[in-house]
Chains A and B, each alone.
Chain A
Amino acid sequence: MNHYEVLAPELVLLGLAFALVTLELLFPQLRKDLVAYLTAASAIGVLVASAFFANRSDSFKDLIQLDNYTTFFRILFLGTAALLAIASAHLVRDKLSNAGEYYGLLLLGVIGATYMAAASELLTAYIALELLNFTLYVLVSFDRKDPRSGEAGLKYILLSAFASALLLFGISFIFGVTGTTSYAGIRHALEAGIGEYRGTLVVGLVLLLTGLGFKVAAVPFHMWTPDAYEGAPLPVTAYISIVAKAAGFALFLRLFSQAFMPVISDWRWMVALLAALTMVFGNLIALQQVNIKRLLAYSSISQVGYMLIAIAALSHDSATALLLHLGGYAITNLAAFIAIIAFYNATGGEEIRDFRGLAERHAGLAMTLTIALFSLAGMPLFAGFMTKFILFQAAAQHGLLWLSAFGVVTSMISLYYYLMVIRQMYVLKPRDGDGRLRVPLLTSAVLVVLALGIFFVGIWPTPLFRAAASATRLLF
């Protein structure tokens, strides 16, 4: 048995990605938004197909693991990619060239992300990580007209390479101590005892955490994030903040739960420290932002802090809570970004003050964005409250009440900067000459669905919660 069918979804996706690139090459006259819809359709197609993998457990040569965990993230990534493709349609058509490559890379990135979640071996994980990174390097610097885009790409690629080197150095030590790169093997080795090499292992762990911390944007390895977010085209920013981040956590979670549980006391405080720093820095600096993308960058950094709490309190409960939170976060962030993209398409503004009086210019857009921001701030009725509550509770349950307290307090601070955006939209009146905005029908529909999704997760999280629980069951 070679279990090639385990690879099927990604192979199909790979084919589709190439097809899209080729399509654009062959038919340069093709309407660019059509490519977007094709991308979305293919992603959704694969998503539906891969849903049949639910509750199946299999592995490809102990390198790629197929289980509910993989399926959960695969669906998450594909869904995000599909919606972002739709949201990109107008923006890519109007502002960017090489649409085929853009959408192809979008799908390629999903492959990398999915394999990050699925990898059960360090080399595979590393390659998947780099695959995602590569697509992101290109996507971030995709806007050739905007100097910020190139700068973001430069910073991203150089720092990412640097972080990869640190990560690899760490992996080499772990390999050195345990003699294997497979998660299960590492665990066995650690359970058997490593004696005098503990110091080496710890250094390896520190470096590993650095690399992963860079990927998920944990303070102090986060500094590329705001710049990359601000420089990248908007949908790409969304893509990083959702797919790349979730993929990082997928890798993080599987690696640490399957490989490093025996030495949890060695790394727990490090993750907790990173989490605390991330929450504090992310939220404090976000207070002073004027650009909506940069604001969301810092906001997403602080979200990373919350998510790291779950890793620090690593257990089945907290892992479940983390996946739940990631799901809610993905929906919320998608809603926020797609609303901002729609606003950007209509006005070209991306400063917070540009949102002035949005409630009177387009009530629906303002309401969606408000819902998303409240959700990010963790207000009830919306996803953010429910998922964060369960996340923090799970962490408190596993001895990290102080860290949960940190999370709660900093997320209360975060409400301030979200309110500053809401203030612009609702409290202030539009400037003279600012008329009503037009939002494409499809985008509106997507926004309505996402807003309802935020409510759904916020009020009836059970389906997502159960999915998350079954996804993480096999990790422990």
Chain B
Amino acid sequence: MVGMNAAWLLPAIPAGAFALLLLVRNFLPRKGDWVAIGAVTASFVLFFFVLHDLMTRLGPNFHGVSTGFTWLKIDNFVLRVGFFTDPIAIVMLAAVLVVSLMVHVYSTGYMHGDSRYGWFFTVLALFTAAMSTLVLADNLLLLYVAWELVGICSFLLIGFWWERQSAAEAAKKAFVTTRVGDVGLLIGVILLWKKVGTFDIQTVLHAATSGQIGHTYLTVALLFMLLGAMGKSAQFPFHVWLPDAMEGPTPVSALIHAATMVVAGIYLLARMLPAYMVITGLGTLIMVIGMITAIGAAVIACAQTDIKRIIAYSTLSNLGFMFVAMGAHALTGGMFHLLTHAFFKALLFLGAGSVIHAVETQEVGDLGGLWRKMPITMGTFVIACLANAGLPVFSGFFSKDLVLEGVMHGNTPYYVALLAWVFLSGIYTARLFMLTFFGPSRDHHRYEHAHESPPNMTLPLVVLAVLTLLAGWLALDSVGRALGFPGGVGEFVFVHEPEAYRFSFTVAFAATSAGLLGVLATMYLYWGGGPERARRFADYSPDVYALIRNKFYVDELYQAGINYGVLGLSHAVAWFDRYVVNDTGVNGTAQLTGWLGYRLKFLQNGKLPTYALAMIVGVLVMAIVALSMHS
């Protein structure tokens, strides 16, 4: 029976597809998109076998199953390619494979006719392979490898339309920004390795929890790792790359920049959570970072006009939320939100893609009234929006509640802040769907040409919408029991003690009220007269509006930092190198030598008495020195 021992096949199949496509895609029919889709489907199917195997083995003493082989061995330094399957990985994997498959299918429509159609699927296959590896990695090094590989896929896909300068710049920005975080991750990984002597995650965790690693040391290592997570998950202050990453094709945004890669940071924290829990204070730090990101991004999202950017800030905001969850050690809620968020955010993006595909613009100001033209898109989009706003029934509601409950205990200020966050989420989500689908159409030309997308695009929308509707119920014991994991997700994914989902009325009520309030308020602003009311609202305080509109000027700040700081340093070093090291040090030595020669040659003045004098001086000097040595 194929089971968890075959987990390595999950990344291996798409990797094979990647290799095949890289070499021969241009010789395959349809540029080989079916190879990629087939591979992902195969992995997807295989996933259920793995899942089933896991379910059957699940028990109190079960931690996970590891398979793999040694890749490199230097002396006593061993690098392994190993795959470890446990519930945390399974949850993440579910998100990865489902969204990946949907995006693959969707892309056959969305990317149709693109000149680099085959290349798109090639990179997607690589991404799927890398992302599965990241999830399944049993050691930190392999995790890092996969981490970098998904980064490069992200780079390649953001810059997919590299003929656009902005896309090229965005790709670079994304990669370099995350790379800075990766530096931290790598340092953290190596620091842990140095103490523990292995990269194996379970061993490292065991060492950390059993106190083998000194607290200071562990804190430093984990802080470095946290940098990596922050970079990948675009947490403040690394968040700037994610909105720009929207330069990539929309399916990419859905897959990489909403559902999977960007949550890798959260996944990493979840993986390492037992270690993080050892150090008190780190949790608070993570919560603060997450909170800043969550609230800040939600505020910014309220004032954006690019449909994809709104969703991007929404993603940022949710990522911050998940960070808060991790900081509060609410693993169950965090991972669950990760899963549901993957579905509804991918759905949002794909829906937005569908809209963009139809009207060929991303400015919400040019949209409006599309519900008539694109009913399926509209329907699924609204489901996703409501899930995002965390309204009951939709999956976001359950996962958010789980997190809120986790945070509530002993972190009241954060809990209150999160309620505000829910409110803000309601505002921007409502604004998004109001502006896009309702109200009058503001650009008639585009409106006329709008049409519903082809089935290969709407099908994934529908599938994801269904998942968005249903996934939340997995939290419930009864649903879990029906599917084979009694206790629901709470007893599936946990840190120390399984904790079944208990519906808490206070939390649910508070959160729902906040969300609903936000949605309704916004609907009021945009209903009927269109955005006029909203504009007036913004005019109450133009400075604040400008501040939000311009994303708190963080990008500008960074740009200035790069221009004057980094490039300035670079120019300074280059100047130093050219004028001090080279022109003074190297050329100077040469010139000094030459100058000495030039000076000395005039001793040879052509006059015979001088020559004789030189000889006599030589004689006298030698004689005097010699005689003084003897006396």
Contact present between A and B (CB < 8 A)? yes
Q: Which residues of A come within 8 Å of B, CB atoms? A: 154-155, 158-159, 162-163, 166, 198-199, 202-203, 205-207, 209-210, 213-214, 220-221, 223-224, 226-227, 266, 270, 273, 281, 284-289, 413, 416
Given known A155-B608, A284-B596, A284-B600, contact A220–B627 (CB-CB < 8 A)? no
Which single member of B600, B606, B610, B630 contacts A281 (CB below 8 Å)? B600
Given known A207-B619, A210-B619, A266-B626, contact A287–B593 (CB-CB < 8 A)? yes
**Is A286 a contact partner of B597 (Cβ separation < 8 A)?**
yes
Q: In the complex, how many angstroms separate the beta carbon of B562 from the nearest chain A beta carbon?
A: 42
List 7 A-B pairs, Cβ < 8 Å: A199-B630, A206-B626, A210-B618, A214-B615, A223-B610, A285-B601, A289-B601
For the residues of B in contact with A, the DSSP-based class is helix
- Tell yes or no: B3 within 8 A of A by CB: no
- Tell yes or no: B470 within 8 A of A by CB: no
Given known A198-B630, A206-B622, A207-B619, contact A220–B604 (CB-CB < 8 A)? no
**Is A273 a contact partner of B604 (Cβ separation < 8 A)?**
no
Q: How distant is the Cα of A284 from the Cα of B593 in the complex, in angstroms?
A: 7
Residues on B with beta carbons closer than 8 Å to the beta carbon of A202: 623, 626-627, 630
Pick the 5 closest A-B CB pairs, nearest first. Answer: A287-B597, A223-B611, A284-B597, A220-B618, A220-B614
The A-contacting residues of B in range 597-631, CB under 8 angstroms, are 597-598, 600-601, 603-604, 606, 608, 610-612, 614-615, 617-619, 622-623, 626-627, 630-631
Residues on B with beta carbons closer than 8 Å to the beta carbon of A199: 627, 630-631
**Is B617 a contact partner of A220 (Cβ separation < 8 A)?**
yes
Residue of B nearest to A273 (CB): B622
- Tell yes or no: B594 within 8 A of A by CB: yes
Q: In the complex, how many angstroms separate the beta carbon of A210 from the nearest chain B beta carbon?
A: 5
**Is B615 a contact partner of A166 (Cβ separation < 8 A)?**
yes
Residues on B with beta carbons closer than 8 Å to the beta carbon of A270: 622, 626
Q: In the complex, how many angstroms separate the beta carbon of B618 from the nearest chain A beta carbon?
A: 4
Q: In the complex, how many angstroms separate the beta carbon of A128 from the nearest chain B beta carbon?
A: 22
Q: In the complex, how many angstroms separate the beta carbon of A99 from the nearest chain B beta carbon?
A: 30
Q: In the complex, how many angstroms separate the beta carbon of A217 from the nearest chain B beta carbon?
A: 12
Q: In the complex, how many angstroms separate the beta carbon of B627 from the nearest chain A beta carbon?
A: 6
**Is B619 a contact partner of A413 (Cβ separation < 8 A)?**
no
Residue of B nearest to A209 (CB): B622
Residues on A with beta carbons closer than 8 Å to the beta carbon of B623: 202-203, 206
**Is A210 a contact partner of B615 (Cβ separation < 8 A)?**
yes
Given known A202-B626, A223-B604, contact A413–B615 (CB-CB < 8 A)? no
Number of A-B contacts (CB under 8 A): 79
Q: In the complex, how many angstroms separate the beta carbon of A455 from the nearest chain B beta carbon?
A: 31
**Is A285 a contact partner of B615 (Cβ separation < 8 A)?**
no
**Is A285 a contact partner of B597 (Cβ separation < 8 A)?**
yes
Residues on A with beta carbons closer than 8 Å to the beta carbon of B619: 166, 206-207, 210
Q: In the complex, how many angstroms separate the beta carbon of B63 from the nearest chain A beta carbon?
A: 64
Residues on B with beta carbons closer than 8 Å to the beta carbon of A155: 608, 611
**Is A227 a contact partner of B593 (Cβ separation < 8 A)?**
no
Q: In the complex, how many angstroms separate the beta carbon of B600 from the nearest chain A beta carbon?
A: 5
Residues on B with beta carbons closer than 8 Å to the beta carbon of A289: 601
Which single member of A163, A203, A288 contacts B594 (CB below 8 Å)? A288
Residue of B nearest to A158 (CB): B608
**Is B606 a contact partner of A220 (Cβ separation < 8 A)?**
no
Residue of B nearest to A286 (CB): B597
Q: How distant is the Cα of A214 from the Cα of B606 in the complex, in angstroms?
A: 17
Residues on A with beta carbons closer than 8 Å to the beta carbon of B615: 159, 162-163, 166, 210, 214, 220-221, 223
Choose among A155, A198, A221, A289 the residue with the greatest number of B CB atoms under 10 Å from its CB: A221
**Is B612 a contact partner of A413 (Cβ separation < 8 A)?**
no
The A-contacting residues of B in range 358-412, CB under 8 angstroms, are none
Q: How distant is the Cα of A226 from the Cα of B630 in the complex, in angstroms?
A: 36
Choose among B594, B623, B626 the residue with the greatest number of A CB atoms under 10 Å from its CB: B626
Q: In the complex, how many angstroms separate the beta carbon of B268 from the nearest chain A beta carbon?
A: 55
Residues on B with beta carbons closer than 8 Å to the beta carbon of A288: 594, 597-598, 601
Q: How distant is the Cα of A224 from the Cα of B606 in the complex, in angstroms?
A: 9
**Is A285 a contact partner of B622 (Cβ separation < 8 A)?**
no
**Is A285 a contact partner of B604 (Cβ separation < 8 A)?**
yes
Residues on B with beta carbons closer than 8 Å to the beta carbon of A413: 593
Residue of B nearest to A170 (CB): B619
Residue of B nearest to A207 (CB): B619
Residues on A with beta carbons closer than 8 Å to the beta carbon of B611: 155, 159, 223-224
Residues on B with beta carbons closer than 8 Å to the beta carbon of A273: 622
Q: In the complex, how many angstroms separate the beta carbon of B43 from the nearest chain A beta carbon?
A: 60
**Is A285 a contact partner of B626 (Cβ separation < 8 A)?**
no
Q: In the complex, how many angstroms separate the beta carbon of B592 from the nearest chain A beta carbon?
A: 10
Residue of B nearest to A227 (CB): B606
Q: How distant is the Cα of A223 from the Cα of B603 in the complex, in angstroms?
A: 9
Residues on A with beta carbons closer than 8 Å to the beta carbon of B600: 281, 284-285
Residue of A nearest to B610 (CB): A223
Residues on A with beta carbons closer than 8 Å to the beta carbon of B596: 284
The A-contacting residues of B in range 299-331, CB under 8 angstroms, are none
**Is A159 a contact partner of B618 (Cβ separation < 8 A)?**
no
**Is B614 a contact partner of A223 (Cβ separation < 8 A)?**
yes
Q: In the complex, how many angstroms separate the beta carbon of A248 from the nearest chain B beta carbon?
A: 15
Q: How distant is the Cα of A223 from the Cα of B601 in the complex, in angstroms?
A: 10
Q: In the complex, how many angstroms separate the beta carbon of A20 from the nearest chain B beta carbon?
A: 33
Q: In the complex, how many angstroms separate the beta carbon of B311 from the nearest chain A beta carbon?
A: 62
Residues on A with beta carbons closer than 8 Å to the beta carbon of B594: 287-288
Q: In the complex, how many angstroms separate the beta carbon of B594 from the nearest chain A beta carbon?
A: 5
Q: How distant is the Cα of A258 from the Cα of B597 in the complex, in angstroms?
A: 38
**Is B614 a contact partner of A221 (Cβ separation < 8 A)?**
yes
Residues on A with beta carbons closer than 8 Å to the beta carbon of B604: 223, 226-227, 285
**Is B627 a contact partner of A203 (Cβ separation < 8 A)?**
yes
6 extra A-B contacts, CB within 8 A, seeds A162-B612, A266-B626, A287-B598: A198-B630, A203-B627, A210-B619, A221-B618, A223-B611, A227-B606
Residue of A nearest to B619 (CB): A210
Residues on A with beta carbons closer than 8 Å to the beta carbon of B618: 210, 213, 220-221
Q: In the complex, how many angstroms separate the beta carbon of B266 from the nearest chain A beta carbon?
A: 60
Q: How distant is the Cα of A170 from the Cα of B618 in the complex, in angstroms?
A: 14
Residues on A with beta carbons closer than 8 Å to the beta carbon of B593: 284, 287, 413
Q: How distant is the Cα of A154 from the Cα of B596 in the complex, in angstroms?
A: 29
**Is B608 a contact partner of A159 (Cβ separation < 8 A)?**
yes
Q: How distant is the Cα of A213 from the Cα of B618 in the complex, in angstroms?
A: 10
Q: How distant is the Cα of A224 from the Cα of B619 in the complex, in angstroms?
A: 16
Residues on B with beta carbons closer than 8 Å to the beta carbon of A162: 612, 615
Residues on A with beta carbons closer than 8 Å to the beta carbon of B608: 154-155, 158-159
Residues on B with beta carbons closer than 8 Å to the beta carbon of A224: 611
Q: How distant is the Cα of A209 from the Cα of B627 in the complex, in angstroms?
A: 15
Residues 577-602 of B, flagged 1 when their CB comes within 8 A of A and 0 if not, give 00000000000001001101110110
Residue of A nearest to B594 (CB): A287
Q: How distant is the Cα of A451 from the Cα of B606 in the complex, in angstroms?
A: 35
Q: How distant is the Cα of A221 from the Cα of B612 in the complex, in angstroms?
A: 8
Q: In the complex, how many angstroms separate the beta carbon of A211 from the nearest chain B beta carbon?
A: 10
Residue of B nearest to A163 (CB): B615
Q: How distant is the Cα of A209 from the Cα of B621 in the complex, in angstroms?
A: 13
Residues on B with beta carbons closer than 8 Å to the beta carbon of A154: 608
Residues on A with beta carbons closer than 8 Å to the beta carbon of B622: 206, 209-210, 270, 273
Q: How distant is the Cα of A227 from the Cα of B605 in the complex, in angstroms?
A: 10
Q: How distant is the Cα of A248 from the Cα of B631 in the complex, in angstroms?
A: 32
Residues on B with beta carbons closer than 8 Å to the beta carbon of A266: 626
**Is B630 a contact partner of A159 (Cβ separation < 8 A)?**
no
Q: How distant is the Cα of A12 from the Cα of B593 in the complex, in angstroms?
A: 50
Q: In the complex, how many angstroms separate the beta carbon of B236 from the nearest chain A beta carbon?
A: 57
Q: In the complex, how many angstroms separate the beta carbon of B301 from the nearest chain A beta carbon?
A: 64
Residue of A nearest to B605 (CB): A223
Residues on A with beta carbons closer than 8 Å to the beta carbon of B601: 285, 288-289
Q: In the complex, how many angstroms separate the beta carbon of A275 from the nearest chain B beta carbon?
A: 13
Q: In the complex, how many angstroms separate the beta carbon of A111 from the nearest chain B beta carbon?
A: 27
Q: How distant is the Cα of A413 from the Cα of B600 in the complex, in angstroms?
A: 15
Q: In the complex, how many angstroms separate the beta carbon of B218 from the nearest chain A beta carbon?
A: 53
Q: In the complex, how many angstroms separate the beta carbon of B234 from the nearest chain A beta carbon?
A: 55
Q: How distant is the Cα of A226 from the Cα of B593 in the complex, in angstroms?
A: 20
Q: In the complex, how many angstroms separate the beta carbon of B623 from the nearest chain A beta carbon?
A: 5
Q: How distant is the Cα of A166 from the Cα of B615 in the complex, in angstroms?
A: 10
Q: How distant is the Cα of A289 from the Cα of B594 in the complex, in angstroms?
A: 11
